[in-house]
């Protein structure tokens, strides 16, 4: 019922008390307030500042009641209900006091009700009617008609202080639910108002735009800019991150006009982040693909990504487009064999669609070359956790984070990438009930709130974790009983970590010995500890080792198989868990049944009535290489954007250009679609039914809310029609049919049926129709029997800094955007909030490079270069640069390293050696050898060049005019840079 | 050419920021970083720097782990805290009942005219800040003006001009 973690109703036991309200005997849970007891018994008490999710505030003075034996008129929202209490809610004294309080509130409210967008939904209006307030009564109290400026800076909502009644709901929501603390009540007396730091526009504050304030404002003081009211609501699941928030879409006509969180959802309890609340307008974007498109004759694939789409492609009927695709696929399969075909499935679309896509690849095309972008995020998790525990997924549930004593967050910027989980961590820290260890090279939000922040160098996780385990074992703090009873391989682990002393780890990781010891003590001594991690762990050439180390740590301390503990890979995409579960992977059928095990193959062959390939297929990263080498001739890319998401962009682009035939199926003309021969228009999340599986293995139901634009269709229909054209009709009527087939072939989904999911969904494994699902794995015994320790050694990242590339670039995401930006960049609100990529650089590096905040810089690696504005911030560490990968204008993956983890084949996105240079300098130095030298190594440049005394003097004194007479006219910023640089060299 | 000017500017800002933040860091080092220390820290910064710079408020908020909006809320609640630099001389004009009936308004007007600022403002050379207060409790001396810590009683507009003239001579 609420977004906060430990809510009043959860703290309350099962014990009840009995009190009398207005002569009626009322039962209420012990610990309730008088107001809650009354509301629970359907007795109305007016209030403007009460909210079930927030701590009682007692500000509005409207919920006053009379309680026998108590003096005065207490506020019912702050008074605890006790057994035998006698309460009166409607006496003349109560009504009189409420009216006065209400008149005072209204006197300070600039009401213009008829034109206010809150009209008829305004709590103030309702209570004014209820209390029979008359205009003349509060007019006499009006002190001033001063009009305060309205803050219209935010793209999604306005703040009108003239309509604010200072109930404090927005402030409490911002602090208690979101944990952002962007607003508070400032100034005093009559001047008091809700204010940001420095009384600036909300967009200049720490506001994270989650809109929890907006959802709670009782008046028109906080109003969405989009004010069309919906005529119906449809419950469905948010399509952004892997948290899987349940939402209600408000629909008017065929458009989504409003969103609200589902208060009953065990996942988000009504809460939403900025993407979930304001990010769905992409579905109505004019760029949506509405008809199949074919590349016109004579247009090569060397066009620019921003080239003219209409010029290159022509519209076609579904029949023509699918005929062409079917013919080409059949022809190329016959000519080069089935393994010359590759299919990319998607972590964005439903389980049913992933199932159909992998079935298409395996049964129709005859290849196991099917993969999706989990390869780029949690492939290492799946490999390592299968080896250690026997299941590649999160062991416990999101709700467990609220039950832990200690959370260890490593390589996850949770508050930006999984905001609703980030919120739980913030709330728990604010409550003072838990300890938090954060290991991250960047000073992220959670790091600032942490008990210990281990700021290790990128790619040194194994050394750090081994040293923590070294301390635990050396001091005998491990859970010996758990190790003896439930695990194997401890001795090998102990022998390996013995060499990883804190001193040695300090050398490798840059984290002080004392902090390593402190973290080890905190972790080992916590009764219930959980590990949360993200791409900071997995996207390394040592990704599998990193995850194995985390598994070691959890088993070493007995933190598996109990409430409030566990292994929590935070999945990045709405259905990346489901896409893996559905076997959109080259080596397994649905439910992680290996393709090279005969028994499995026979089962699927008999179910699908065809023969299947027994050789595991290629991963995404291998398919790109194979395309480059000409081994893969055709790719069918569905709901993926490899140009933007794969490392080493220019290599990927070349590979795709070389294909004989490329089919892209998407909702937008993505960067990849520009290289396609055929583009097929798909339906977006709100336009279809199906299921998504979230990060905690919860299979949740997606419900169709609007019709797709034009001729766009759900992906499962398109793929089924193509299968039929190729002579293998699947015969599905709807997505529930597909789920029946999934359940029959996938033991862990055996009990999943659409009709069972409408309310809260079900967590797999769910073996049969009576199985209530499994909130916690590995209770009593691990899925693989004994948990297995893996002794792993530290290996440095594939790339390290050099003189030419002295910085390490690490990539990631930002709050407002999502992945390759196909959706979020087309959301007006999200794109306005964060319109361009920014490189974070530490002040020390900025000083060395003579770069200031806001400068346009060129970031270059061995693989490419991009330009982006710089933000000088201590969020970054010295020697570290950060750039998210959402922006096609500054694509981080033009720079990243395609080196792979040997087992999981995940690329090392997190460590690339780069250099940063002022862009004007980069351009100027391209045709000026002296400047190029100077930019790279100023001292050398001065030495190397044979300079006359006059020239030396001019350079040393920074005489720009003289210098210009030799180099030609210099840009103003370049002049400044030169002077600063030369003065540093003195 | 005007090249040297913009070149130095970032350096100057860097230096000024560094001085400011080192002063604030010095103060913060005296505290443990607990939330209850907010008001003593604000008071000390106010005393040392003469005002609470915005960057300083943010720094304090981070140090004691409070949201910066809350720190701003507290800083704007108490009249003792200033968010903009105050002048080296603080002139306070009493507007209590006693002073009011004996001509405080004219004295305030005179000072405003002489200094070229309104009550609550600071001269651009950071020399004077002019404020009004409700009562000093020196009603027997009404009307009263307090300059820094010195009380001037039985003020007249001429005396007010003289005080300013004397100050300016020094």
Residue B43 CB partners (closer than 8 Å, separation 6+): B80
3-state SS assignment for residue A753: coil
Nearest to A975 among B3, B57, B61 (CB): B3
**Which listed CATH number (3.40.228.10, 3.30.590.20, 3.30.70.890, 3.40.30.10) goes with A379-569?**
3.40.228.10
Residues B98-120, mean pLDDT to the nearest whole number: 92
Q: Would B65 be classed as within a structural domain? A: yes
Q: What pTM, to 2 d.p., does this model score?
A: 0.90
**Of B29, B55, B77, which residue constitutes the final position of a domain?**
B77
- Are both B69 and B31 inside the same structural domain? yes
Residue A566 has pLDDT above 50, yes or no: yes
Angstrom distance (rounded) from CA A895 to CA A912: 7
A983 CA to centre of own chain: 44
Start-end ranges of CATH 3.10.20.740 in chain A?
Answer: 8-139
* A6 — pLDDT class (breaks 50, 70, 90): very low
- Taking phi first (over 0 means left), then psi (-120 to 50 degrees means alpha), and beta for anything else, what does residue A99 get? alpha
Do B77 and A184 lie within an 8 Å CB cutoff?
no
Q: Does A631 touch chain B (CB under 8 A)?
A: no
Q: Does A848 touch chain B (CB under 8 A)?
A: no
The counts of H helices and E strands in chain B are 7, 4
Give B-chain residues touching A873 at CB under 8 angstroms: none
pLDDT of A979: 80
**B70 to chain A: nearest residue by CA?**
A184
DSSP letter string, B42-55: HHHHHHHHSS--HH
Q: Give whichever of A317-321, A846-850, A918-922, B147-151 has the largest mean pLDDT.
A: A317-321
- Are both B53 and B100 inside the same structural domain? no
**Of B77, B101, B118, which residue constitutes the final position of a domain?**
B77
pLDDT of B10: 43
A86 and A68 Cβ atoms separated by less than 8 Å? yes
pLDDT of A277: 95
A317-376+576-763: CATH topology is Rossmann fold (3.40.50)
pLDDT of B16: 62
- Per-chain mean pLDDT for chain A: 92
What's the Cα-to-Cα distance from A586 to each of A368, A620, A772, rounded to whole Å? 5, 9, 30
Q: Is the peptide bond before A765 cis (omega within 30 degrees of 0)?
A: yes
Do A175 and B67 lie within an 8 Å CB cutoff?
yes
How close A571 comes to chain B (CA, Å)? Answer: 29
- Are both B97 and B146 inside the same structural domain? yes
More confident residue, A310 or A593: A593
Of the listed ranges A14-23, A263-272, A299-308, A486-495, the least confidently predicted one is A299-308
Q: Residues 962-981, chain A: which have Cβ within 8 Å of B?
A: 972, 975-976, 979-980
B69-98 per-position pLDDT tens digit: 999 999 999 988 988 888 888 899 999 999
How close B90 comes to chain A (CA, Å)? Answer: 22
- What range does the domain containing B103 cover? 89-169
Q: Does A449 touch chain B (CB under 8 A)?
A: yes
- Are both B72 and B95 inside the same structural domain? no
**Of B77, B98, B118, which residue constitutes the final position of a domain?**
B77
**A196 to chain B: nearest residue by CA?**
B69
**A192 to chain B: nearest residue by CA?**
B77
How close A181 comes to chain B (CA, Å)? Answer: 5
Q: Does A182 touch chain B (CB under 8 A)?
A: yes
Residue A158 β-bridge partners: A223
Q: Would B57 be classed as within a structural domain? A: yes
Residue B170 has pLDDT above 70, yes or no: no
Residue A532 β-bridge partners: A409, A568
Give B-chain residues touching A182 at CB under 8 angstroms: 67, 69
Start-end ranges of CATH 2.20.25.90 in chain A?
Answer: 157-284
**Which listed CATH number (3.10.20.740, 3.40.50.970, 3.90.1150.10, 3.90.1150.60) goes with A8-139?**
3.10.20.740
Residues A563-587, mean pLDDT to the nearest whole number: 95
* A537 — pLDDT class (breaks 50, 70, 90): very high
Mutation site, A190, A197, A954, A962, interface B, largest B CB count within 10 A: A197
CATH code of the domain containing B32: 1.10.10
How close A275 comes to chain B (CA, Å)? Answer: 23
- Are both B96 and B136 inside the same structural domain? yes
Give A-chain residues touching B3 at CB under 8 angstroms: 960, 975-976, 979
Residues B32-61, mean pLDDT to the nearest whole number: 92
Nearest CA-CA partner of A600 in A362, A345, A793:
A362
A157-284 classified as CATH 1.10.10.10 = no
Count of structural domains, chain B:
2
Of the listed ranges A6-20, A344-358, A394-408, A493-507, the least confidently predicted one is A6-20
- Taking phi first (over 0 means left), then psi (-120 to 50 degrees means alpha), and beta for anything else, what does residue A30 get? beta
Q: Would B39 be classed as within a structural domain? A: yes
- Are both B12 and B65 inside the same structural domain? yes
How close A188 comes to chain B (CA, Å)? Answer: 5
A655 and A362 Cβ atoms separated by less than 8 Å? no
Start-end ranges of CATH 3.40.50.740 in chain A?
Answer: 317-376+576-763
pLDDT of A303: 58
Q: Does A180 touch chain B (CB under 8 A)?
A: yes
How close A174 comes to chain B (CA, Å)? Answer: 10
Do A196 and B77 lie within an 8 Å CB cutoff?
no
- Are both B99 and B137 inside the same structural domain? yes
DSSP letter string, A319-360: HHHHHHHHHHHHHHHHHH-GGGEEEE--SSS-HHHHHHHHHI
A930-945 per-position pLDDT tens digit: 777 777 766 666 666 6
Do B71 and A206 lie within an 8 Å CB cutoff?
no
pLDDT of A2: 40
Angstrom distance (rounded) from CA B76 to CA B82: 8
pLDDT of A972: 84
Give A-chain residues touching B6 at CB under 8 angstroms: 972, 976
Q: Does A195 touch chain B (CB under 8 A)?
A: yes
CATH code of the domain containing B157: 3.40.30.10
Helix residue ranges, H only, A823-888: 828-833, 843-849
Share of chain A above pLDDT 70, in %: 97
Start-end ranges of CATH 3.40.228.10 in chain A?
Answer: 379-569
Q: Does A71 touch chain B (CB under 8 A)?
A: no
Quick one: A975 exposed, middle or buried, by C-beta within 10 A (0-12, 13-18, 19+)? buried
pLDDT of A414: 96
* A28 — pLDDT class (breaks 50, 70, 90): very high
Do A184 and B73 lie within an 8 Å CB cutoff?
yes
Angstrom distance (rounded) from CA A241 to CA A812: 14
Give A-chain residues touching B69 at CB under 8 angstroms: 174, 181-184, 186, 195-197, 205-206
Q: Would B83 be classed as within a structural domain? A: no
A235-257 per-position pLDDT tens digit: 999 999 999 999 999 999 999 99
Give A-chain residues touching B65 at CB under 8 angstroms: 449
Nearest to A183 among B1, B57, B69 (CB): B69
Give A-chain residues touching B54 at CB under 8 angstroms: 197-198
Chain B residues with at least one Cβ partner in A under 8 Å = 1, 3-4, 6-7, 10-11, 54, 57-58, 61-62, 65-73, 76-79
Of the listed ranges A60-64, A395-399, A421-425, A942-946, the least confidently predicted one is A942-946
Strands B89-94 and B145-147: antiparallel
Residue A97 has pLDDT above 60, yes or no: yes
Q: Would B82 be classed as within a structural domain? A: no
Do B62 and A448 lie within an 8 Å CB cutoff?
yes
How close B161 comes to chain A (CA, Å)? Answer: 33
pLDDT of A120: 85
Do B54 and A198 lie within an 8 Å CB cutoff?
yes
Do A197 and B69 lie within an 8 Å CB cutoff?
yes
Q: Does A961 touch chain B (CB under 8 A)?
A: yes
Quick one: A86 exposed, middle or buried, by C-beta within 10 A (0-12, 13-18, 19+)? middle
Give B-chain residues touching A184 at CB under 8 angstroms: 67, 69-70, 72-73
Residues B58-65, mean pLDDT to the nearest whole number: 92
* B126 — pLDDT class (breaks 50, 70, 90): confident
More confident residue, A265 or A966: A265
A666-709 per-position pLDDT tens digit: 999 998 999 999 999 999 999 999 999 999 999 999 999 999 99
**Which listed CATH number (2.40.40.20, 2.40.30.10, 3.40.605.10, 3.30.70.2740) goes with A807-985?**
2.40.40.20
Q: Does A181 touch chain B (CB under 8 A)?
A: yes
Q: Does A654 touch chain B (CB under 8 A)?
A: no
- Are both B103 and B154 inside the same structural domain? yes
pLDDT of A922: 85
Beta-strand runs (E) in A894-944: 897-900, 907-908, 912-918
3-state SS assignment for residue A459: coil
Nearest to A206 among B65, B68, B73 (CB): B68
Nearest to B72 among A197, A961, A972 (CB): A197
- Are both B61 and B103 inside the same structural domain? no
Do B76 and A187 lie within an 8 Å CB cutoff?
yes
Residues A807-819, mean pLDDT to the nearest whole number: 93
Q: Does A197 touch chain B (CB under 8 A)?
A: yes
Residues A329-343, mean pLDDT to the nearest whole number: 96
More confident residue, A302 or A751: A751
Nearest to A960 among B3, B70, B76 (CB): B3
- Are both B57 and B125 inside the same structural domain? no
């Amino acid at each position: 019922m609420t977004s906060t973690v430990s809510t009043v109703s959860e703290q309350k036991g099962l014990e009840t008390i009995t009190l009398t309200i207005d002569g009626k005997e009322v039962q209420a849970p012990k610990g309730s307030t008088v107001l809650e007891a009354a509301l629970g018994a359907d007795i109305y008490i007016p209030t403007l500042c009460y909210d079930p999710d927030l701590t009682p505030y007692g500000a509005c003075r409207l919920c006053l009641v009379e309680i026998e034996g108590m003096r005065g008129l207490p506020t019912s929202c702050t008074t605890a209900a006790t057994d035998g209490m006698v309460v009166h809610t409607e006496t003349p004294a109560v009504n009189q006091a409420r009216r006065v309080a209400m008149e005072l509130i209204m006197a300070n409210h600039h009401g213009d009700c008829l034109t206010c967008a809150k009209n008829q939904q305004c709590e103030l209006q309702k209570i004014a009617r209820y209390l029979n307030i008359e205009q003349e009564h509060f007019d006499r109290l009006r002190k001033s008609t001063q009009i305060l400026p309205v803050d219209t800076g935010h793209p999604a909502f306005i703040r009108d202080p003239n309509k604010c009644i200072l109930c404090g709901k927005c402030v409490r929501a911002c602090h208690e639910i979101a944990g952002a603390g962007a607003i508070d009540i400032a100034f005093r007396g009559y001047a008091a108002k809700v204010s940001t730091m420095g009384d600036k526009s909300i967009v200049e504050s720490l506001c994270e735009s989650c809109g929890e304030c907006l959802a709670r404002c009782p008046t028109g003081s906080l109003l969405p800019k989009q004010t069309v009211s919906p005529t119906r609501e449809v419950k469905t699941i948010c399509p952004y991150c892997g948290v899987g928030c349940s939402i209600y879409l408000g629909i008017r006509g065929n458009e989504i006009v409003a969103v609200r969180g589902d208060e009953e959802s065990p996942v988000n309890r009504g809460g939403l982040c900025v993407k979930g609340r304001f990010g769905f307008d992409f579905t109505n974007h004019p760029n949506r693909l509405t008809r199949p498109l074919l590349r016109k004759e004579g247009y090569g694939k060397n066009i620019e990504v921003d080239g003219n789409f209409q010029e290159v492609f022509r519209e076609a009927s579904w029949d023509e487009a699918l005929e062409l695709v079917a013919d080409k696929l059949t022809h190329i399969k016959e000519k080069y064999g089935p393994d010359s075909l590759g299919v990319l499935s998607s972590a964005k679309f439903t389980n049913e669609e992933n199932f159909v896509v992998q079935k298409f690849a395996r049964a129709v095309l005859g290849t196991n070359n099917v993969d999706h972008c989990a390869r780029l995020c949690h492939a290492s998790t799946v490999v390592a956790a299968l080896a250690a525990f026997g299941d590649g997924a999160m062991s416990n549930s999101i709700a467990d984070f609220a039950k832990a004593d200690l959370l260890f967050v490593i390589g996850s910027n949770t508050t930006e990438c999984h905001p609703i989980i980030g919120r739980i961590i913030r709330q728990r820290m604010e409550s003072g009930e838990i300890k938090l260890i954060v290991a991250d090279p960047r000073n992220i939000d959670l790091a600032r709130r942490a008990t210990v922040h281990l700021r290790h160098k990128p790619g040194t996780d194994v050394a750090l974790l081994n040293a923590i385990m070294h301390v635990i074992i050396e001091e005998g703090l491990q859970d010996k009983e758990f190790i003896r009873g439930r695990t194997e391989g401890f001795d090998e682990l102990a022998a390996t970590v013995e060499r990883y002393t804190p001193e040695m780890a300090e050398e490798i990781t840059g984290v002080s010995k004392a902090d390593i010891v402190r973290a080890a003590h905190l972790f080992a001594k916590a009764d219930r500890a959980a590990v949360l991690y993200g791409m900071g762990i997995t996207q390394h050439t040592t990704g599998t080792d990193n995850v194995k180390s985390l598994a070691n740590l959890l088993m070493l301390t007995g933190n598996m198989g109990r409430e409030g503990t566990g292994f929590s890979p935070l999945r990045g995409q709405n259905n990346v868990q489901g896409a893996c579960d559905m076997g959109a992977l080259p080596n397994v059928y649905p439910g992680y049944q290996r393709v090279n095990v005969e028994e499995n193959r026979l089962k699927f062959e008999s179910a699908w009535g065809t023969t299947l390939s027994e050789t595991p297929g290629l991963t995404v990263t291998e398919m790109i290489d194979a395309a480059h080498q000409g081994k893969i001739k055709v790719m069918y890319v569905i709901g993926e954007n490899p140009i933007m998401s794969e490392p080493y962009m220019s290599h990927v682009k070349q590979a795709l250009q070389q294909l004989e035939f490329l089919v892209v199926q998407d909702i937008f003309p993505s960067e990849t679609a520009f290289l396609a021969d055929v583009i097929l228009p798909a339906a977006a999340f709100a336009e279809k039914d199906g299921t998504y599986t979230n990060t905690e293995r919860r299979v949740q139901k997606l419900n169709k809310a609007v019709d797709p634009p034009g001729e766009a269709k759900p992906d499962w229909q398109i793929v089924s029609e193509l299968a039929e054209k190729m002579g293998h009709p699947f015969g599905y009527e709807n997505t529930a049919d597909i789920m029946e087939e999934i359940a029959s072939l996938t033991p862990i989904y055996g009990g999943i049926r659409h009709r069972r999911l409408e309310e809260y969904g079900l967590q797999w494994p769910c073996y049969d129709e009576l199985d209530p699902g499994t909130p916690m794995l590995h209770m009593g015994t691990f899925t693989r029997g004994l948990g297995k320790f893996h002794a792993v050694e530290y290996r440095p990242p594939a790339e390290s800094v050099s003189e030419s590339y002295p910085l390490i670039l690490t990539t990631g995401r930002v709050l407002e955007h999502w992945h390759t930006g196909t959706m979020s960049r087309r959301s007006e609100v999200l794109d306005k909030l964060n319109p361009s990529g920014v490189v974070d650089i530490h002040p020390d590096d900025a000083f060395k490079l003579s770069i200031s905040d806001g400068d346009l810089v060129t970031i270059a690696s061995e693989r490419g270069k991009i330009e982006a504005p710089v933000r000088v911030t201590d969020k970054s560490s010295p020697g570290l640069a950060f750039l998210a990968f959402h922006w096609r204008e500054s694509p981080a993956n033009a720079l990243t390293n395609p080196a792979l983890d040997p087992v999981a084949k995940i690329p090392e996105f997190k460590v690339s050696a780069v250099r940063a240079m002022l862009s004007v300098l980069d351009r100027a130095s391209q045709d000026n050898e002296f400047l190029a030298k100077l930019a790279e190594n100023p001292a050398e440049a001065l030495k190397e060049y044979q300079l006359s005394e006059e020239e030396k003097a001019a350079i040393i004194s920074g005489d720009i005019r003289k210098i210009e007479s030799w180099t030609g006219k210099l840009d103003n910023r370049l002049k400044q840079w030169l002077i600063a640089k030369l003065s540093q060299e003195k | 050419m005007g090249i040297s000017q913009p070149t130095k500017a970032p350096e100057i800002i860097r230096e000024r920021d560094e001085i400011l933040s080192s002063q604030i860091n010095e103060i913060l080092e005296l505290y443990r970083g607990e939330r209850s220390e907010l008001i003593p820290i604000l008071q000390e910064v106010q005393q040392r720097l003469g005002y609470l710079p915005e960057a300083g408020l943010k720094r304090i908020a981070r140090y004691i782990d409070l949201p910066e909006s809350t720190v701003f809320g507290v800083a704007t609640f108490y009249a003792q805290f200033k968010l903009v630099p105050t002048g080296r001389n603080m002139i306070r004009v009493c507007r209590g009942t006693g002073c009011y009936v004996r001509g405080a308004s004219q004295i305030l007007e005179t000072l405003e005219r002489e200094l070229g600022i309104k009550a609550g403002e600071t001269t651009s050379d950071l020399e004077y800040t002019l404020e009004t207060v409700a009562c000093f409790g020196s009603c027997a001396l009404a009307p009263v003006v307090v300059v820094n810590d010195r009380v001037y009683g039985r003020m007249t507009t001429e005396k007010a001009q003289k005080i300013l003239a004397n100050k300016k001579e020094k």
